[in-house]
Structure 1
């Protein structure tokens, strides 16, 4: 058995802990499956309140579902670690409200592990995923453990990985992983890393979500990104204070998650552009009503699926926003037509998106005031629940003009995950 991990020898150095506490970093930790020892390491020497805002261990499936606000596709995966980090980051923002925000480096860290278990089945994988979410950065590291170690040994490794992610962010030296993690033939263990960064205007879209709970229109923002291979162009707007003339001239908007963009999206965009004679701007809201915001690794993947169409004449660009509701989108894109599918059309007045109460008359009045139109594309197997009042604002594209083949981004993602596993 490859294991000689004495607790005193393989603890995080106390001087490194204090260097973390001396940094401006404020964190919320969310850890499950292993590595929770890092919470004690950060707190047991004193001054822990200088760094730790909150720490949670959602260990059961029910606790994890509650923490994320949804059931994850897998409980131990890179994607779930990123989701945990994003929820932790939003929690950190909430807890740091009222402070001098510029003085704090607010961070969320999520870790999900599958470590050695008693009487585990043969061939069960041992994995560690650690993610970090900051204002303008998402990162995740992955380690697949292959050597025969004790549970205690694997816990130490997970703890060190979590600490090193935090240490790197704070600009202090990382600690050496115990037990020679590496790529020796008998282990083939390797740490893989992904990091994506964005500019300040994009990062601000996540910050504003917290501050806009009671006044949803005061802190709406847009960051515009060109897809034609040129340098990214970004602009920010607050409510009616529209500072960028290009944003004011947008007339055709295609909201969606585009995770990924697929051929039906392209068909819809092309046809809409031909009908109205203006280019399409794809809109992705980083914030959502019923699930965590989009992290920057996921965002870049979605933008990559759109970039291949950047030079097409029907494409005007991409707008990133923090406006999940069409009420808010109407405020950001007045005098515009929104491209939507049948399923989105059916959800326009779903009460769960409006805090459980929906005032249809007020919504329609807002659309009318903002001169909003909808171009609605039908979808196979989706029955459209047509409210006669909304037809005033809609043009429904006949199935003869557009044939939906039933493909969805969810199905594409599922097949991609299956291919990774194989």
Structure 2
């Protein structure tokens, strides 16, 4: 392996960024380079090669208009990014890396030899498009160039200085040293001349057999075309409020857009609420729930911007609530999941933490059109999503003033298995958001709730 490329890979492995990689049609050499330098486990979460049509369609969820295109590469990178988020803990820097290629093949392609390499993260996307000089390289040489492009895009996504990365061994005016790992000091032009001669021998180039300089003449007209583009992400909360993304996560000083972390494979606990204001009771409740969830569990707060009764929160309100968590260094997932079943669909396998008063209401048929069957169907969908609930006790301030827990709720038999209680000795907090707001300690201009009513939970 070329020492310069090896150093690039070592820097990638030392960056702290983890990646899921999806490649199709080529770029396998880039993946190999990533894996053969010690420390790959610090970077690579998963490598998927959706080579067949069916595999690619299944991964993307739809058939692309064109299999080798910029749009398909960007879609693959976004899918890889979402997968990377699902496989890592809150706050872990992740990137989705993808390549879709149409390279030299047998029988020879009629169209261009090209590759599109993309990386996607919460801050936006990077795209590198390469149209290769057709007939100038063997398949192996094309794989090497595209592999270097893959490393280049990943390195930039990991924060490496692009001016310190080796340039691609391009043919034509842009050709530059250092050459590819298996070319000599004359670089890609020498490789192109040899490849052109081989192509001519195979009948791929129409040369005048009487002209001894025809190979060199045709080679002079060969050149690669490269375009790179950086696509910054638009304001994530505006995108969420407009319905263009499903969720925005703030954790570890980073923003993760449209990459929900489900509970499958890694126990995750979410505490839904309005957080006007965020207080010590919220923090203690989530901590107790995470402890009950067992070894390896992690927790996150969840705020929905959409309320079935009160409509959508204003951008300024959402920003004020988010700011509390960012300042405290606490993870927050902002969603459009109005109903409890919506949350379960967005976050399959997750455990949701509820206060006693909310748990009482979500098992009342009157909130399901008065239908016990309707309620049972909702909880069936939640169960199928693999979700469950932890119920924290609280003082019944609208009744007898006694501390109430799960044991005080009449649960229908068909849903009882989805609920577990947090013992009073594990958690009790008599702090009330309502009381704090009444005392003037709420967020300025903030409405009371987007996440505490039954409408937003059931």
TM-score of the superposition, structure 2-length normalised? 0.45
TM-score of the superposition, structure 1-length normalised? 0.49
